[in-house]
A = this chain, B = another copy of it.
Amino acid sequence: MSIQADKVTVSIITIGDELLIGQTIDTNSAWMAQQLNAMGIWVHRRVAIGDVKEAILDALDKEGAVSDIVLITGGLGPTADDITKPTLCEYFGGTLVRDEITYQQVMAFFESRGLPALKRNEDQALVPDVATVLHNTRGTAPGMWFEKDGKVYVSMPGVPLEMKGLMTDHVLPRLQEYFRLPAVVHQTLLTSGMGESFVAERLVHFEAALPPHIKLAYLPSHGLLKLRLTASGSDKISTAAALSIYFHQLKEILADITVYDEDLTMGEVLGRTLHAKGRTVGTAESCTGGYIAHSITLVPGSSAWYKGGIVSYANEIKSALLDVKPNTLQANGAVSEAVVREMARGALEQLQTDYIIAVSGIMGPDGGTPEKPVGTVWIAVGSAKELVTMKYQLRFDRLTNIQMTTTYAMNELRKLIV
């Protein structure tokens, strides 16, 4: 089965029992898909299987039958549950031999840490003689490139940093050479404040008028809705030009709910907004417990616009550090407009920033009351000159409520600034 015969297709196989019992969330596949997509390779299947020889052999058969490329991650560690390498060796009909460069790397790695290299570490230098070895500069397990019946199979370790190094240094450039690739271009519009189905209703005519080589996708994400247009064509420049016409139409239709016209995190959007104006922000968080500060500071270079924040989880901290009056707390409760206003004012005073974000709410699962059910959150954003407040009623689990409060609060400040 070839789903789209005109495209180079890839299956990603991730190997590891930890993926099947739910103790590890697979973030590698998403990163790999982004890189492959950007160069016009279409991921059409992702498969996760356990550290079981038969399952690996079966997956190699199935994915090799439907895809031009099979990328395999995981199962290459030094511990006993890793059986990927001997299985690959058997599948491609090779013998395990020592790769000298990898062997020297393993020895140097352990020597530099003053640790003895164990037999199982030394064995990481064994590779099937039918594979092209891709040297791993960030770890001790090498990548392996196999070719069979015109298809390419690549095995990489599952450690994200090592996999990313191998992909960037070896796999992507080699795939570029091996296949004649179409140009694929994405453009993403970030929106907030309107539900998916209402946006879709507004886009009915726009979508119906899209040519077959341009696709629209809806990607909701913690309070943001991303609209992604994807175009494919023979070369990057003309494909991008064709796409930009439709992207401009999309922006016009959704101007009132647009947050940004690039695929950024809300922390990146707020950072760019502040940076462009040369302004700074601080945070005063109760229910989000530091997550707004984290979302802002996850952006490299954020020290240019973020000075700091106060996590005032306990009421006594709200009073001691943010000068929230005990009377205000008693009269209104910690989750109230009055308290979030005083938190914002106190934090502006303490942190001496141009802008402030302050939040107080009940993220669940416990702590709700009939008057203030779980999910109630008050947000204040603004400056010493102008402070606006708003109330949200969320209905998700604790982490999602925290993430959505963070997105909404950052977006409210962005709206106030622009």
Q: Which A residues are closer than 8 A to B by beta carbons?
A: 1, 3, 17-27, 29-35, 37, 42-50, 52, 54-55, 58-59, 62, 66, 77-81, 115, 118, 120-121, 160-161, 186, 195-198, 200-201, 207, 215-219, 221, 226, 228, 230, 263, 283, 285, 288-294, 296-298, 300-303, 306-314, 316-317, 320-321, 350-352, 364-366, 395-400, 402
- Which residue in B24, B300, B314 is a CB contact (below 8 Å) of A221? B24
For residue A302, which residues in chain B have a CB less than 8 angstroms away from its CB? Answer: 289, 313
In the complex, what residue of chain B is closest to A216 when comparing beta carbons?
B81
Whether A290 contacts B307 by the Cβ 8 Å rule is no
- Which residue in B120, B217, B290 is a CB contact (below 8 Å) of A293? B290
Whether A47 contacts B46 by the Cβ 8 Å rule is yes
Copies of this chain, whole number: 2
In the complex, what residue of chain B is closest to A43 when comparing beta carbons?
B20
Whether B350 contacts A3 by the Cβ 8 Å rule is no
For residue A312, which residues in chain B have a CB less than 8 angstroms away from its CB? Answer: 308
* Max chain B C-beta neighbours (<10 A), residue from A37, A290, A298: A290
Whether B48 contacts A46 by the Cβ 8 Å rule is yes
- With A22-B37, A79-B218, A217-B18 as given contacts, are A313 and B294 in contact (CB-CB < 8 Å)? no
- With A289-B296, A290-B297 as given contacts, are A20 and B33 in contact (CB-CB < 8 Å)? yes
For residue A400, which residues in chain B have a CB less than 8 angstroms away from its CB? Answer: 160-161
For residue A290, which residues in chain B have a CB less than 8 angstroms away from its CB? Answer: 283, 285, 290-294, 297, 309, 311
Whether B81 contacts A217 by the Cβ 8 Å rule is yes
- Which residue in B21, B42, B285, B398 is a CB contact (below 8 Å) of A37? B21
- Which residue in B201, B228, B310, B321 is a CB contact (below 8 Å) of A118? B201
Whether B54 contacts A49 by the Cβ 8 Å rule is no
Whether B366 contacts A350 by the Cβ 8 Å rule is no
Whether A297 contacts B289 by the Cβ 8 Å rule is yes
Whether B300 contacts A196 by the Cβ 8 Å rule is no
Closest chain-B Cβ to A334's Cβ sits at a distance in Å of 10
For residue A285, which residues in chain B have a CB less than 8 angstroms away from its CB? Answer: 290, 293
For residue A80, which residues in chain B have a CB less than 8 angstroms away from its CB? Answer: 200, 207, 216
- Which residue in B54, B230, B314 is a CB contact (below 8 Å) of A21? B230
In the assembled complex, the Cα of A307 lies from the Cα of B79 at a distance in Å of 41
Closest chain-B Cβ to A255's Cβ sits at a distance in Å of 20
In the assembled complex, the Cα of A287 lies from the Cα of B285 at a distance in Å of 18
A-B contact pairs, 20 of them (CB 8 A): A18-B217, A20-B43, A21-B37, A22-B30, A22-B33, A23-B226, A46-B47, A77-B196, A80-B200, A115-B195, A120-B201, A294-B294, A300-B364, A300-B365, A308-B313, A308-B317, A309-B313, A310-B311, A317-B351, A320-B350
For residue A307, which residues in chain B have a CB less than 8 angstroms away from its CB? Answer: 313-314, 316-317
For residue A44, which residues in chain B have a CB less than 8 angstroms away from its CB? Answer: 20, 49-50, 52, 55
For residue A22, which residues in chain B have a CB less than 8 angstroms away from its CB? Answer: 29-35, 37, 43
Whether B21 contacts A78 by the Cβ 8 Å rule is no
Closest chain-B Cβ to A176's Cβ sits at a distance in Å of 18
In the assembled complex, the Cα of A221 lies from the Cα of B19 at a distance in Å of 13
In the assembled complex, the Cα of A33 lies from the Cα of B20 at a distance in Å of 6
11 extra A-B contacts, CB within 8 A, seeds A309-B311, A310-B311: A3-B55, A19-B29, A19-B33, A22-B29, A45-B48, A81-B216, A289-B302, A290-B291, A290-B292, A290-B294, A309-B313
For residue A198, which residues in chain B have a CB less than 8 angstroms away from its CB? Answer: 115, 118
Closest chain-B Cβ to A356's Cβ sits at a distance in Å of 13
